[in-house]
Amino acid sequence: MSERWFLALWPDSETRTALEAQLVGLIPFQGRATHPLDRHLTLVFLGELDPDRLGGVESVASQVSAPRFELELDRIGHFARSQILWCGPSRTPEPLTALVADLQIRLAARGIATDPRPYRPHLTLARRVRQGASLDLPAPVPWPVTELVLAFGRSGAPPRYRIQRRWPLGRVGI
């Protein structure tokens, strides 16, 4: 398989529409804007997976027990090294931190490596942005997080990401 897999949170249409309304005039003309349907919050990047490892990831995701929670998108920032303009929360809610940690522990137990860098929740707004500033959105965008998704990237016309599977949050783990 040549797809690049990841576990993520995907905004619902109401959240996506509210975010797009806040972004009008804020995204610079430089760089390459991401397609609105591709915007997501990666929890764990997995890279290329063979069918056995993909099955292991699905098993891990199906066993996770995490509550539903609200994420508040209120900040725009810039990662200078990777030239990414992003949007995210100024405060990471505890359920999000716990969900990421749980996934990393469960995946490591199956021999699936995850990124060792500290977790920084964000949605990529644009790539190849050489300069950017941190600023608050005109109004915070509430995002009711209700599910975990397994997705992959593909080449071709945008949107480039596809959701493979969804798991509701707020259920009891198996």
Is residue 133, in this structure, part of any structural domain at all?
A: yes
Is residue 173, in this structure, part of any structural domain at all?
A: no
Is residue 150, in this structure, part of any structural domain at all?
A: yes
Phi and psi, residue 76, nearest 5°: -115, 135
- Position 82, amino acid: S
pTM of the shown model:
0.91
Phi and psi, residue 59, nearest 5°: -65, -45
Q: How far is CA 75 from the centre of its chain?
A: 15
CA–CA distance, 103 with 97 (Å, rounded to integer): 10
CATH at residue 129: 3.90.1140.10
Per-residue pLDDT tens digits for 10-46 = 999 999 999 999 888 776 667 888 999 999 999 999 9
Q: Which domain holds residue 40?
A: 4-168
Asked if 99 and 41 count as a contact pair (C-beta separation under 8 A), the reply is no
- pLDDT at position 1 is 42
Number of domains into which the chain is organized: 1
Neighbours of 111 (CB within 10 A): 8
Per-residue pLDDT tens digits for 50-90 = 999 999 999 999 999 899 999 999 999 999 899 999 999 99
- pLDDT at position 174 is 42
H helix runs in 64-136, sequence order: 94-109
Is residue 43, in this structure, part of any structural domain at all?
A: yes
Element (H, E) at 163: strand 161-168
- pLDDT at position 171 is 63
Closest by CA to 4, choosing from 45, 52, 51, 36, is 45
